[in-house]
Amino acid sequence: MKLDMALGCTRVLMLMLMTVALSRTGAAPVPSAPRALPPARGCHMAQFKSLSPQELQAFKTAKDAFEDSLLQKDWDCSARLFPRTRDLKHLQVWERPVALEAELALTLTVLEAMANSSLGHSLEQPLLTLQHIHSKLQACVPAQPTAGPRPRGRLHHWLHRLQEARKKESQDCLEASVMFNLFRLLTRDLKCVASGDQCV
């Protein structure tokens, strides 16, 4: 019996010594705290619920100048790139910045191409404003491709429509579509995204 007790004490002592040795060398498996995910980029669009009167006037000046230039052109565009039935309220909240970003990207591409025309001066301030909005909007658009929600349904249809327009529409028709859509973009689509889930 004494022998059994001695063996038991020896085993306990050996286990204690091994635990101390492992902890000193760092070999003991110590649970580590899970790494925190990197903070999401800030999406701050509330400032664009309404533009200043000066900014809106700059867009009106550019649009008026464009309409005057149309009197000197012989153009015919039957397709409606931005149909009246299109409304960001019909999309889920996370889809709205995606749709607006595509709309804004096309608008910038077209207006930047027009900057070297006779309308260049009137487009300077609107371009600066749109570029600023676009830079802020980037933080609200889910990175692609990643696991997670993908464009589908109505959003997929809208994005495909804009992509196809770049290939099929003439430059004159793209310019007309974009210019006549400016105030809708600024006062409806942008305001909806800036309002978040309050846009209903």
**161-199 pLDDT, tens digit each:** 999 988 889 999 999 999 999 999 999 999 999 999 999
55 within 8 A of 190, measured Cβ to Cβ? no
Identify the burial level of 26 via C-beta atoms within 10 angstroms of its C-beta, where 0-12 means exposed, 13-18 middle and 19 or more buried.
exposed
- Which residues have C-beta within 8 Å of that of residue 126, sequence separation ≥ 6? 58, 59, 62, 111, 182
The winner for highest mean pLDDT among 54-63, 151-160, 161-170 is 54-63
Which of 14-28, 45-59, 171-185 is least confident? 14-28
pLDDT of amino acid 193 = 96
**Is the pTM value of this prediction over 0.85?**
no
Would you give the distance in Å from CA 114 to the centre of its chain?
24
By the 10 Å C-beta count (0-12 exposed, 13-18 middle, 19+ buried), 97 is classed as: buried
For the ranges 39-43, 68-72, 97-101, the lowest mean pLDDT is seen at 39-43
Alpha helices in the chain (DSSP H): 2-25, 53-70, 95-114, 120-137, 153-168, 171-184, 190-195
